[in-house]
Amino acid sequence: MKLFFWCNNDEKGQMHTFEAIVAAIIIIGGMLFVVQATALTPLTSSTASVYIETQLQTMGQDTLSALANSKGNRDSDLKQDILNWDGHTYIWSGYTYRSASNSSNELDMDNSSLASAMLQVAVPRGIAHNIEFISLDQNNEMVKKVYIYSGDPSNNAVTISKPVVINESDILEDHIEEFARITGIENYSDSNYYNTVNVRLTLWRM
């Protein structure tokens, strides 16, 4: 009886030891799987995405800053683009910008430094771009007008903006009401100050 007792305990001990080894293997295997599944390297899509976003941010800032600089007594290119705008939304057709409401109406590149800049720096690199003019109406409500539209931005899109002050003296006196009507940018005050237009540029990889 005594010998059988010790043999029985030995068998139980072996079973417990075997179960412990199997459990340890399962736990270690699970940990290795989790570590391998979540490991990040410098070549992951997340890191590459951040790098591209940084490049787009720099490109957009440099473009708007360059166009916002006045040259002597001449208005900045950004201000001239706003003043020359006919109120249409333009879409890139593959070789030019066409009106969304009238495909026969092309954007005059001589009157759009923004479109010319996008044609030089964005289009050749496959970078989609939206440009909006944002202002306040007399009720202090934000009014957003689309100047150039390339579609809905991706999750990795970046947005850069630059404010442009418009005065009544910038617009021909007998065209002030017409300018407000065709652009939707209202005359915000009774003084020479007309409105401030925030030029918002959104860039993303197609």
Summarised one tens digit per residue, pLDDT across range 175-186 is 999 999 999 999
The pLDDT of residue 52: 86
- Local structure of 4: helix, strand or coil: helix
Q: Write down the residue that tokens 């002030």 correspond to.
A: 176
**CB-CB contact of 83 with 166 (8 Å):** yes
**Window from 1-15, 45-59, 114-128 with minimum mean pLDDT:** 1-15
- What's the rounded mean pLDDT across residues 106-121? 94
pTM over 0.85: no
Tell me the two tokens of residue 30.
Answer: 């699970």
**Beta-sheet strands, E only, within the chain:** 90-92, 97-99, 127-136, 142-149, 158-167, 193-205
**Window from 15-24, 131-140, 159-168 with minimum mean pLDDT:** 15-24
